[in-house]
Amino acid sequence: MKRFVAFAVLAGLLVFGGCKKDTTGSAAIGDLKGSVAGLTWGVPARWTQAPDRPMRIATYVVPATEGDTEGAECSVSYFGPDQGGVVDANIDRWVGQFEPVDRPHKSTKTVSGMDITLVKIAGTYLSPSGPMMQSMGRKEGFQLLGAIVPGPEGAVFFKMTGPAKTMAAAEAEFDAMIGSLGK
């Protein structure tokens, strides 16, 4: 009888354990891949690739979370060997795209032997765009997740911006994409 109960519990877990709806976004990497500057990465399964844009290797669209009126976007930029500036100058530039802003959360992690700098910024996003990076309007309650990757052929910049709820739901996906980096 104990074996039957144990088997029934195990069977129930196997059958019903996968039925829970994931409302926070899945960190699963999909079939879409990216590469530049001697780096490769996988793109989260929920994300789609947007049309080409100037100064970007790729732009990915992150679906809005319930309650947000817009989704997020993740851009990947590469400016060539020894181009793009030093890490702290780039973080300062990203911080300057927000107001008011508390001190950004900065950390590092090693992936495939590369020391990657990560940054998280929150505040009112000034939505810079165009060749002069002029503000396209203020967006309150936005966040930025960034990663600066020292690729074999130069720095590669991953920058995701969007409303706070959508960003929270997609943070594990961003982390999975950065964790998928290879040379």
| Cα–Cα distance measured from residue 69 to residue 66, given in angstroms and rounded to the nearest whole number | 8
- Phi, psi of 61, rounded to the nearest 5 degrees: -100, 130
Does residue 180 sit in helix, strand or coil?
coil
Q: How far apart are CA 24 and CA 115, in angstroms?
A: 28
What pLDDT was estimated at residue 136? 66
Break the chain into its structural domains and give their ranges. 30-179
pLDDT of residue 102: 77
CATH of domain 30-179: 3.40.1000.10
pLDDT of residue 5: 37
Q: Between the CA of residue 179 and those of 2, 19, 82, 101, what are the distances in Å?
A: 43, 27, 24, 27
Report pLDDT for 24: 41
The pLDDT value recorded for residue 137 is 80
- Type of residue numbered 12: G
- Characterize 72-87 residue by residue with b for buried, 16 or more Cβ atoms within 10 angstroms of its Cβ, and e for exposed: bbbbbbbeeeeebeeb
At 128 the pLDDT is: 64
The pLDDT, as a whole number, for residue 76 is 98
Instruction: Enter the pTM of the model.
Output: 0.83
> Please, what are the averages of pLDDT over each run of 10 residues along the chain (183 residues)?
39 36 61 97 98 94 96 97 94 90 92 98 82 67 97 97 97 98 97
Q: State the Cα–Cα distance between residues 169 and 129, nearest whole angstrom.
A: 25
Number of H helices, E strands in the chain: 3, 12
